[in-house]
Structure formats: C-alpha cells, structure tokens
Structure 1
Amino acid sequence: MDAEVDLISIPPDEELYKKQYYSISIVAKWFRVNNSLLRFWENEFKILKPKKNKKGDRFFRPEDVKNLQIIYYLLRQKKLTISGAIKHLKAHKENTEVNLQIIHSLNNFKSFLLELKTNTEK
C-alpha cells in the first residue's frame, strides 16, 4: 500500500490552488493513469465535474483533483469496486476526506523521519 501511495504525485495544496484548471493529460500524469480512465471515472462518479470547452477538452479544477484523490484511494488502495466506492462516497464522503488527509500527513511525516534518519547516519 505504501508503494501505491508514492505512485501518485499531486502537488501540495498551495501549488495546486494556484491555477484554476488543469488539463486531463496533466492530471492523468499525476495519478499515473490513462486519460480514458479519468473520462470513465467522470461518467461513473457524480462528484467529478470537469469543465469542458467547445471542443470537448476536459479541464479539472483543484476540487476535481481532490475528488480524484478520494476516488483513487477508494478504488486503488482500499480495493473497492466502482459500485462499492459510489456507495461509500454517498455514506462516508466527509470521513473519507479526513482519513485521506490523515494518511497524507502521516506519509509526509514518515518521509521527514526517513530523511532525518538518513542525514543523521552520515
């Protein structure tokens, strides 16, 4: 599970909220998934509402990226099915957001401690 957490590379909130929209290709790179998977998740999960231009290109708001983090967590880390993740979001969205924030904080703290350990061993 720790290995999968490290796979996604979403910028910190301060940086994420500097822009209003991100293209689907950038967001897909952050999550290391195909654009088609993001489009599929958009159709399945009502909380994803990327803006589309006249051409049909999708642009994700920072809120959409945060919702994608929750979806990724439920599907890839908790190994829920799509229908299970949808039910979970309906019943426990706020708790899941809090849990995800705690997991990220703990992972950041773990990285800090590992870096500290590496620096003190030199």
Structure 2
Amino acid sequence: MTTTKTARELAEAYFTAWEAGDFETMRGLLAEDVDFVGALGTAHGTEEALAGLRGLGKVLEKIDVKVRVAEGDEVITWFDLCTGIAPPAPTANWMQVADGRIARIRVTFDPRGLLAGFARQH
C-alpha cells in the first residue's frame, strides 16, 4: 500500500534531505516540472532545481527551522540558512504540493551575505 505524504511531511523530508546532501531522496520529492523562484535564481524542472540546491549545498552547514506552517497543499517554512561563508540568513520557503510531489517553491531572504561569501571564495 502506498501512502501519500502531506505537504508538511514533504517539506520536512525536503529539508532533511537537503541538509544531509541526499539529492536522490530530494529527486523523489519534487514534481518533474517543479517551478523554483528564489533570491539567487530560478529553476524549471527537477534537474535544474537539483543543480541549484547542490550548488548552495556545497556551503550549507545547517538548516535551523524556526517554524513550519501547513494548510492544505501549501507549507511555509521559516528557517535560518546557515553556511560556512556568511552569517545565518533568515529565510522563508513556501511550497505548493500537487499529486503528492512538491510542484512550486518560492524562497525569499536577503542574499547579500551569501553573495559576498561566494565572491570571497573566488
């Protein structure tokens, strides 16, 4: 028997997998045509979304979730994005689920610290 995860469960699994660098698990959570828009770029489709998450994953140290609010097929996660190159960035992530997968993601945070950190790396 297959059970469909709730939007909250999908969000929890997404952040756990991202923090662990488990991109194969993430692939199974995302809709094939996932649409991502964030402070550092956009991605359309699973492969583009995973490429972006892998890129930020190279400097990711911790995702410190403060609160997660779910209503129906939508969930918002408020967290500190902790990296090795910048101070923690307070971040809001909104996800919309369709057919048991994450279909739409919108992320907002102040990217200046991360951009400066990336610039120092080069």
Give the TM-score normalised by structure 1. 0.29
Which protein has the larger Cα radius of gyration, Structure 1 or Structure 2?
A: 1
The structure with the greater share of residues assigned to strand is 2
